[in-house]
Chains A and B, each alone.
Chain A
């Protein structure tokens, strides 16, 4: 409480005429309204219309105010009166949001009980200052073999998931959320401009895998007002910040920012804002930069919470040098690039290791995993280059042949189906087995079967990250020998 402010207000208060403003709608359509009047309207201010509709100021001209509709009733028409609401754009936040599906303004979209919100949080706030941040050092495990070993993620990192339509970007995002079960990480899945069926399927998947208990779904479907689609990622961010500033670790998926950029372009063009490259408004970079800069790891003084962001971006024909992709690649701390050829070739998830990077990398990786996987990425990349020679039937020396064989085994090991997530012990186990060349004598077409059994064995075993490497090797060697013997019989 700031009693001095309130006390001063009461001391200085006297009843007098207050001059307010009202405007009149000149035109309404396509989710935007033009209003005359309201001379002191400011950008992002909430306006209420006499029929109950709500709009947000988006553009100011000399004579008119351009606003995007956030709520629209059927009675909305031109000539209606518009008032300042006195409210700042905010969304309700509460612990009770876990497991619920809401729109960016907090309206419940599922059939659960109504909620009474205690707090409101501003949608658009400044990102934490440098002093308030901490280094990204704590690992965030996704359960994916390629990511956790070759492209490790830390809590507080921004990692872009980029690729063409239908390559499995949302699948990777869902798998990341499913792997956060029992890890004390609050997840927020923001769906922007998606079909209703996609939203329903996503919620159903989360529910079936008991992930909805620690997830909030913020949805602005394709048929919703452009204003809501524009606000959806900021609402997701604000909800995540509610937990982050309380000291929790959070994870936000923005699915996807292409639709967000398109929606922003649409609104800006309708409201006649000056256009820039590819008809996007000039501040399209700022649109995403100010969103993603809010994802960070906070210092101990600020509670030590974190927000890890996974924005998803759709490319056209694999073009990552386009306008929005290059913007997002420069904003984020790395990207998972999904390749069409890998997808068509049955390599799932279709993450192209050569064009993917995690700029935090090993700094946020467990020491044991880092030691075992340190050379893996380099070896895999070397294998991909060497594999080209096999197509020419060139004569290869034994060392190269061995490298290629190891690379092929690794490629088989890195394949992973949806929802088959690995614990960190399982990750360590298979990497040690690979480094000890225990897979070397197994046929390539038997690798996946062997790995499946191996992972079952590791999860039933009591070995942990703290178990000595020699014990790991001993147990794994025994298991492999037994497995090979069983396979032969």
Chain B
């Protein structure tokens, strides 16, 4: 076979055309694709870097937040503890106050019961003593005792204190003085005269209208009514007087 320069040049041209075709239709797209992939990979790497950075930042942020929350949690816990302690103290104080109040109430009620019981016993004792005294008076009251009371009465009338005398004299405004005398036993004439003499000394220049009546309930002694005043000197009213005084004392 002979060397042909035409073929050689045509082959070279063919080769160049092939190179151009390869470059244009093969190497360029491949290079482009490689370039795209390279860029894509670089972008991804960049993004990944950024994401990693952001993640690290977030991590740090959350870590610090967690720390803060932890601190807050501890603070809140201790505050809650403190509040619970305070509430506990408050509730305990309320309960204690309530308990003390109940104790005080109970003591007061107990005191009241004891006082009531003592008053009841005092009353029973006084009633018994009054009944006993009345029985004794009943047994021993007689005309002799009444005479003694009469003498006491006359003596008292003669030595009446000024204020009592003025009360009596206030009743003697009318000229006729009505005097009702009740006694447990009949009043003898001698005693009546003695009585009138005392009246004359107390109420001079007056006319007396004396009415005598037997009232055995007096036991012994006298009840003398002068208008709206009553002079009491008898055992029955003396017992009553003692009963009232004893009741006032209790």
Contact = CB atoms under 8 A, between A and B. Distances in A.
Interface string A1-24: 110011001000001111111111
A19 B153 contact: no
Contact of B241 (A2, A18, A247): A18
A86 B244 CA distance: 7
A19 B167 CA distance: 9
Contacts of A119: 116, 119-120
Contacts of B245: 6, 9
B157 A17 contact: yes
B54 to A, nearest CB: 46
Interface in A10-43: 15-24, 36-39
B228 A247 contact: no
A301 B108 contact: yes
A36 B120 CA distance: 38
Contacts of A9: 245-246, 249
A323 B101 CA distance: 41
A39 B248 CA distance: 22
Contacts of A302: 108
Which secondary structure characterizes the binding site on chain B? helix
Interface string B145-168: 000010011001100100010011
A23 B249 contact: no
Which secondary structure characterizes the binding site on chain A? mixed
Contacts of A303: 105, 108-109, 112
A246 B112 contact: yes
Among B106, B112, B238, B249, max chain A CB count under 10 A is at: B249
Interface residues of A, number: 31
A339 to B, nearest CB: 41
A17 B229 CA distance: 12
B112 A18 contact: no
A300 interface: yes
Contacts of A38: 228
B240 interface: yes
A304 interface: yes
Nearest to A4: B249
Given A18-B237, A246-B112, A302-B108, 18 more contacts: A1-B249, A6-B246, A6-B250, A20-B232, A20-B237, A23-B228, A37-B228, A86-B240, A119-B119, A245-B112, A246-B113, A246-B116, A247-B105, A247-B109, A247-B112, A301-B108, A303-B108, A303-B109
Interface of A: 1-2, 5-6, 9, 15-24, 36-39, 83, 86, 118-119, 245-247, 300-304
